[in-house]
Structure 1
Amino acid sequence: MFTGLITAVGRISHVQTLQPDAGAGLRVTVQAPADWLRGAGLGDSICVSGACMTVVELGAESFAFDVSAESLARTAGLDAPATLVNLEQSLTLSTKLGGHLVTGHVDGVGRVEAFEPVGESWHLAVRVPAELARFFAYKGSIAVNGVSLTVNRVDDASDASATVHINLIPHTLQHTNLHTLQAGRAVNLEVDLIARYVARMLPGARDAT
C-alpha cells in the first residue's frame, strides 16, 4: 500500500528480456537517488510510476524488478531505458497519509489530451477509458503515474469515456516525472480505492464489473 506522495524520481538504467521468446517479461533495473534505498530489502514492494513491483535485486543506489508481459501490456513507461519513473516505498503504520490510499495496481492506461501552463500552475487533461470513467468525480482522488492528485472536472464523452482535468502545482512538477508529459503520452491510472468498493455495492454493479 502507498500514499501517492512521490519521494524520489529514478531512471530506468537497464532492461533485460527474461526469456529469449517473444512476448516474455522483463527484468528492469532502476537507478535511484543516493540513500533513497536505505532500509529497503529484497522482496520489498516499491511503487514504480504507479505499479507495485517486487525488489528482486538490490544495490546501494539501484534495484531491479521483474515485470510480466501481461503487466507490460496493461501499463506504460516501464520498459524503456532512460525513462524517468516516480518512486515510493510502501507505507508503514507510522507513515503520514498525506495523499490517499494507493494500491499500486494499475487499473488502466490513459492518454494525455492537454498539458499546458495556467498562471503559476499547469492544467493536465487525461482521457480515461470507458471502463474506468465512472470511478472519477469532482474533487475525488486519482493516481496518475503513481502520483496522488485531485480531480477538478470530469467531462463525459459520448463513447462512455471521459476526460479528467487536474491542476498541478510547481512542487508536484519539480518532484515527479509529470513535468515530462505532453499531449498523446500514455499514463498509468489507478482509481480511488473507496470508489471501487462503492461501485461494487451499487445495484446492478455485478453485471457491470
Structure 2
Amino acid sequence: MFTGLVRTVGWIRRQPQGVRIEADDRLGPLQLGDSVAVDGLCLTVARVLPDGFTADVSEETLSRSTLAAKAAGGGAVNLEPALRLSDRLGGHLVSGHVDATGEVIDVRSLARSWRLEIAWNAPGYGRYICEKGSIAVDGVSLTVAGAGHGGQSFWVAVIPHTWESTTLRQLTSGAAVNLEVDLLARYAERLLQARISDEADHNLNRDWLLEHGWG
C-alpha cells in the first residue's frame, strides 16, 4: 500500500527478465521482496543493486500501463516505497494496481499551479471520478478539480512542489499516463451492489422495508 507521495524520481530500463530501476538514496534502503511504486505500479524488488533494484513484470502489468513503452526507451519514473503502519497518510490510499492508462489532453500553466486535463483510454472508469475526490496519476496523489461529461475526462491542479518533485513536469499533450481510481470509491460501489442485490433477493416492497426499519 502507498500514499501517492513520491519519494524521488528514478530511471527505468528494460531487461530480459524485467526492469532495472536506478534511484538515489532518497528512496531509502531496500531489501529483497520489498514493494516499490514505480509510476504508480507496485513492483517487487527481485535484486538490490548499489544504485537501485531490479523487478519482474507480469503481462497483466505491461498490458494495463505505460511501463513497457517507457522501459523500452529508458525514462524517468516516480518512486515511492511501501507505506509503513507508523507513517503519516499525507496523500490517499493507493494500492499500486493501475486501472488503465489515460492521455494528457492539455497542460496549462496558471498563476500558482499547473492544470492537467486527462482523458481515460478505457471506458467505464468515469463513474469513480468526482470533484474533490482522489486519483493517482503516474503514482502521484492528486485531487480532482473537475470532470468532463460522464467523467471520461478530468482535470487536476498541481502545486509547484509536486510539479518540481515528480515527472509530471515532463508531461505534454498526447502523453500517456498510468491512472488508479480511489480505492475507497471502488469498495463503496461493490458494497452498494451487494446491498441492492440482497434487497432484490428479498422481493423489495413496502412490507419488507417496514420490517427492516425503513418505515
* TM-score, length-scaled by structure 1: 0.87
Aligned pairs, number: 194
Give the letter aligned to residue 79 of structure 1.
A
Structure 1 gap segments, 5+ residues each: 19-26
Bigger strand share: 1
Report 1:1-209 matches (<5 A).
1-12=1-12, 14-18=13-17, 27-33=18-24, 35-77=25-67, 78-128=70-120, 129-157=122-150, 162-203=152-193
Q: State the secondary structure of the residue aligned to 1:131.
A: coil
Identity of aligned residues (%): 44
Q: Distance in 2 between matches of 1:107 and 1:199?
A: 15
Q: Distance in 2 between matches of 1:100 and 1:143?
A: 9
Q: Distance in 2 between matches of 1:38 and 1:140?
A: 30
Q: State the secondary structure of the residue aligned to 1:138.
A: coil
Report which of the two structures shows the higher radius of gyration computed on alpha carbons.
Answer: 2
Q: Do 1:153 and 1:164's aligned partners in 2 also have CA atoms closer than 8 Å?
A: yes
1:23 maps to what in 2? none
Q: Distance in 1 between matches of 2:165 and 2:97?
A: 22
* TM-score, length-scaled by structure 2: 0.85
Bigger helix share: 2
Q: Do 1:75 and 1:109's aligned partners in 2 also have CA atoms closer than 8 Å?
A: yes
- The alignment's C-alpha RMSD in Å is 1.8
Structure 2 gap segments, 5+ residues each: 198-215
Q: Do 1:37 and 1:61's aligned partners in 2 also have CA atoms closer than 8 Å?
A: no
